[in-house]
Amino acid sequence: MFYYLFTYLDEAFNIPGAGVFQYITFRAAAAVITSLVISLLFGKSLIRLLVKKQVGESIRDLGLDGQMQKKGTPTMGGLIILGAILIPTLFFAKLDNIYIILMIFTTVWLGMIGFLDDYIKVFQKNKKGLAGKFKVYGQVILGLVVGLTMYFSDEITIREKLSQEEILQTYEAGDTDILTVPSKRFSEEAKNSTKTTIPFFKNNEMDYSKILSVFGAGYAKWAFLIFIPIVILIIVGVSNGANLTDGIDGLATGVSAIIGATLAILAWVSGNIVFADYLNIMYIPNTGELTIFISAFVGACIGFLWYNSYPAQVFMGDTGSLAIGGIIAVFAIIIRKEFLIPILCGIFLIESLSVIMQVSYFKYTKRKTGAGKRIFRMSPLHHHYQVLGYPEPKIVQRFFIVGIILAVVTIITLKLR
């Protein structure tokens, strides 16, 4: 809203300083500061309200040290995160930007599903919460909305980088500016595309439609049959991965902040034609605006960590964990960096894999020998280290270090090919 207001004031009255709202960097900085203020100031009030309403976490006894001391800690704190994301986005982002609209929808949609799950657990005293299949249905619906919008919307486009041969031909034809003006090294026409980025390869763009090209040229128009299921799979996987990671104080929140900061860099360079040209990456017009949203996301996570760090004063619940996982997934898909998720979201991935491996191996050995065996002392993986005797803060700090390393590796994929 402020963008439109100050743009009008600048154009109509030439008010000094009003034009600063034209800059993405300024609005991103304003968004992160605002989200921090919201989460820090209003977080305490919301925690008091949750305590007053007796919105406490019911703890399942897993035999872990200090676990039962957390019983009664307020949950549904994800409302702090959601508010600290949405309010700065509404204030500082361009609300007619299709990417911003998709991210707002993602935040609200998964926040509602997570809130319903927490509501059933807390107020209806049903420890199972919302049935797992309904959560998956909600994630699938989100995947359909995102996938169909990205596939069919004329507002979601990329601009192709000209080949070296095309640049040389243009230069020889007399247009010497092509060597100094980055915008000239991209196609003039922005078009909808199913291309994405493959890390570590020199020619790192892959088109989903090429997968069907083996059936003939006409099959390329059916690329959505591959693209949309992949979008759904990524959203379900990352959202549930974040949910599984949210098992000890501050872990999911801090890891998500690290991931968000990395995605902010990727979105900014992808939406900036100068950096897209320099880094030789896909140029996606208008995605720079996403920097405002993800800056608010990072600020919200850091602000919530103030209350969620050990010993936690509040838990985010599924209200927060489902939403932050879905936000990360959809954001990566939008900026065509979904194949970087296994690296960037490596913590979420290993947490999910530890559960899958544990359950699968237990069932397999039980069927074979009659006595189920386990790979880990307990899953998800962070509980394994708890059983081994590591204190919660040490586990969280070491996972943060791994998360930072993965973030750095993700960033260097821009040039390491």
pLDDT digits (tens, 9 = 90+) for 379-414: 899 999 999 999 999 999 999 999 999 999 999 998
Asked, for residue 300, whether it belongs to a domain, the answer is yes
Residue span of the structural domain in which 353 resides: 2-157+192-412
Asked, for residue 395, whether it belongs to a domain, the answer is yes
Burial class from Cβ neighbours inside 10 Å (0-12, 13-18, 19+) for residue 279 reads: middle
Highest-confidence range of 65-74, 195-204, 252-261, by mean pLDDT?
252-261
Highest-confidence range of 71-75, 163-167, 312-316, 352-356, by mean pLDDT?
352-356
Contact 307, 314 (CB under 8 A): yes
Contact 236, 325 (CB under 8 A): no
Rounded percentage of the chain residues whose pLDDT exceeds 90: 59
The CA distance from 403 to 148, in Å, is 32
Asked, for residue 173, whether it belongs to a domain, the answer is no
Buried b / exposed e across 16-44, counting CB within 10 Å, b at 16+? Answer: eebeebeebeebbbbbbebbbebbbebbe
Asked, for residue 174, whether it belongs to a domain, the answer is no
Asked, for residue 167, whether it belongs to a domain, the answer is no
Asked, for residue 176, whether it belongs to a domain, the answer is no
Structurally, the chain folds into a number of domains equal to 1
Task: Compute CA 363 distance to the chain's CA centroid, rounded to the nearest angstrom.
Answer: 32
pLDDT at 12 exceeding the cut of 60: yes
Asked, for residue 186, whether it belongs to a domain, the answer is no
pLDDT at 61 exceeding the cut of 70: no
Would you state the structure tokens that stand for residue 95, as one six-digit string?
């609300």
Residue 370 makes CB contacts below 8 A (sequence gap 6+) with: none
